[in-house]
Amino acid sequence: MNSKKFCFISFCFLLLFCCNEEQKLVFVDSNITTEHNTLVEVIIPTATGDNNSIVSSINSDITNEVIKALHTGGSETITSKSIEESIITFNEEFTAFKLDFPESPQPWEAQIDGEIMHQSPEIISMSITSYINTGGVQGSLNISFLNYDTKTGQRIKNIDLFKNIEGFKEIAKQYFENTLENKDNAFDVNGFELPENIGYIDEGVILLYNAYEIAPYASDIIEFTIPFEKVNAYLNFDSAQ
C-alpha cells in the first residue's frame, strides 16, 4: 500500500472517530423561569448534541416530568405544554388562593432540581428532585430517577434494565435489610419489592424509596447502592464510561 493511500484511509478513520465523538450527548444546566415569577425555581439538565431525534426525545421527557411536578391537580387535568406555561399557572393559582384565603400566612413555593447521576455510551441516569408547597404545614419532597437509552433517547422502564430481574431482586433484598438494620427501622421485609426509583451512579446501581413508599408511616427516604461487580450479570446496560 503506498503512503498516499495509507494516509487517506487513516484520515477517513480519524474523521469517522471525530464525528462519533461530536455526536456524544452533552448536558448543560438550564435555569427556567418567566417574567414576574416569584415562586418557582427550576434548574434541570438539557441535552445537546448532533442527533436531534435523541436530544428532542430526552428533553421532551424531562419537560413532561417537570410539568407533572408543578401541576397541583390530578394528572388527567394537565394542560400545560411547556415548563414556562406551568410556572405561570403555578403563580396564578397562588394569586387565586390568596384572594380566597387572604389570612393564610403560608407562601407557596416550588423547587425542582435535576442532575446527571451517570452517563455511559449505553445509558444515562438522572434524578429530578422536586419540593412543592402549596400552603400546607410542610411541603412534599419527591425524587424521581429517569434512565435513557443513549442510542434511542427513549426512557428505559425498570424491568428493561435487567436480564434477570428476580436474580437482581434477591441481591437487592439483602442490601435493603442491611440498610434498615443500620437505620434501626422495623419493616417487614417478607413482602420486599423493588422501588420505583432505580438508576445508575458511578459506584453502582442505586435504589431509592421515597417517603411513604414502603409503608404509610415510613416518613424517611430509604436508599442504598449495590456495587456493579455484584450485579453486572443481571444488567442489560453496560455502566462503563
User: What domains are there in the chain, each with its CATH number?
Assistant: 24-156 (3.30.565.40), 161-241 (3.90.640.20)
**pLDDT tens profile 78-90:** 999 999 999 999 9
Contact 231, 169 (CB under 8 A): no
Buried/exposed code over 201-238 (b: 16+ C-beta within 10 A; e: otherwise): eeebbbbbbbeeebeeeeeebbebbbebeebeebbebe
pTM of the model: 0.86
Contact 217, 193 (CB under 8 A): no
CA–CA separation, 39 and 75 (whole Å): 21
Give the model's confidence band at 182: pLDDT under 50 very low, under 70 low, under 90 confident, else very high.
low
Residue 147's closest CA among 164, 122, 167?
122
Looking at residue 132, its pLDDT comes to 96
> Hey, is 114 helix, strand or coil?
strand
Instruction: Give me the pLDDT at residue 123, please.
Output: 98
The predicted-structure confidence for 102-148, as pLDDT tens digits, reads as follows: 888 888 999 999 999 999 999 999 999 999 999 877 889 999 999 99
Among 16-20, 70-74, 155-159, the minimum mean pLDDT is found in 16-20
The percent of residues above 90 in pLDDT, for the chain, comes to 71
**pLDDT tier, 75 (very low <50, low <70, confident <90, very high otherwise):** confident
User: What tens digit of pLDDT does each residue of 215-228 get?
Assistant: 766 668 999 999 99
pLDDT of amino acid 185? 54
The fraction of the chain above a pLDDT of 70, given in percent, is 85
What distance in Å separates the CA atoms of residue 81 and residue 63, rounded to the nearest whole number?
Answer: 9
Type and span of the H or E element at 198? strand 197-201
